[in-house]
Structure 1
Amino acid sequence: MMVDDLDSSEQTAFVVEGEVDPIVRGVIEKVLHNETYVESKVPHWINSVCEDVMEGLTELRKPFKYIVTCVIMQNTGAGMHTEHSGFCDAVNDGMCVVKWPAEKSKDQNTMYCIVTVYGLGF
């Protein structure tokens, strides 16, 4: 089957599972996996995560405008709460939120990273 044969809704869907989520998780893992929280490195990490996620998303060649946000917080035991709200087209637009590490892990206990991707259809 050729790409041209696919239903146009399949070509233009904002697919979190299987497309967006794996890109985001892969980038976070690549940038932060062996790192220990150092405040002076956080701006560089955030920039790398946002740029690399955006690059991965554009390689999907989907008709979306993307917004990528990244928060990196030192794990001090304090809580963190975040909320997202927007008015958009529920059919054509989408959002993906990735928290890293996904589970409390002995491998990474110095920081948390939360990346949000908004995909807005043209």
Structure 2
Amino acid sequence: MEEYNHGEEVLFNPDEATAPIKECIEGVIGGADYNQNKVNQWTASIVEHCLTNFVKQGRAFKYIVNCTIMQKSGAGLHTANSCFWDSTTDGSCTVRWENRTMYCVVCVFAVAVA
């Protein structure tokens, strides 16, 4: 993830955040098959790994990470997010990942710290 300095401002770049999020998902569930008994552990681990990776970068943001894992069963899944913030500095990134048995959707919100 990059930050761009315009004077004092820091901008969140969602394009730069995508790859590290995908790496976190792959590292936790990779090629595993959906297992209801492991979903709580997987979601907790994915959000913790993502959050740790972002915080380690030392950027001036507060982060919120959300993870949803759903078994592939033909059912629909629709999600939406809305934020009231400073769109010139703050941002979000949503990554959709899937394998043959499940979907994983991770949303990261970054709010600049003044």
State the TM-score, normalized to the length of structure 1. Answer: 0.84
Which runs of at least 4 in structure 1 moved beyond 6 Å after TM superposition? none
Deviations 1:75-101 (A, max 9, x none): 101111001011111011000000002
Match of residue 55 from structure 1: 52
Root mean square deviation of aligned Cα: 1.8
Q: Which amino acid aligns with 2:22?
A: R
1:7 shift after superposition: 6.3
Deviations 1:46-87 (A, max 9, x none): 011000000110122110000000000011011110010111
Q: Which amino acid aligns with 1:36?
A: D
Q: How many residues in Structure 1 have an aligned counterpart in Structure 2? A: 110
Which one has the bigger helix percentage?
1
Q: Does the alignment pair 1:35 with 2:32?
A: yes
1:9 shift after superposition: 3.2
SS of 2:62's partner is strand
Q: Which amino acid aligns with 1:14?
A: F
SS of 1:50's partner is helix
- Picking from 72, 76, 79, the partner of 1:75 is 72
Deviations 1:1-26 (A, max 9, x none): xxxxx9633982211112x1111011
Q: Does the alignment pair 1:115 with 2:106?
A: yes
Instruction: Return the alpha-carbon distance in structure 2 between the equivalents of residues 13 and 22 of structure 1.
Output: 18
1:39 shift after superposition: 0.5
Which one has the bigger strand percentage?
2
Identity of aligned residues (%): 35
Q: Is the 8 A contact 2:4 2:11 kept in 1?
A: no
Unaligned runs of 5+ in 1: 1-5, 102-107
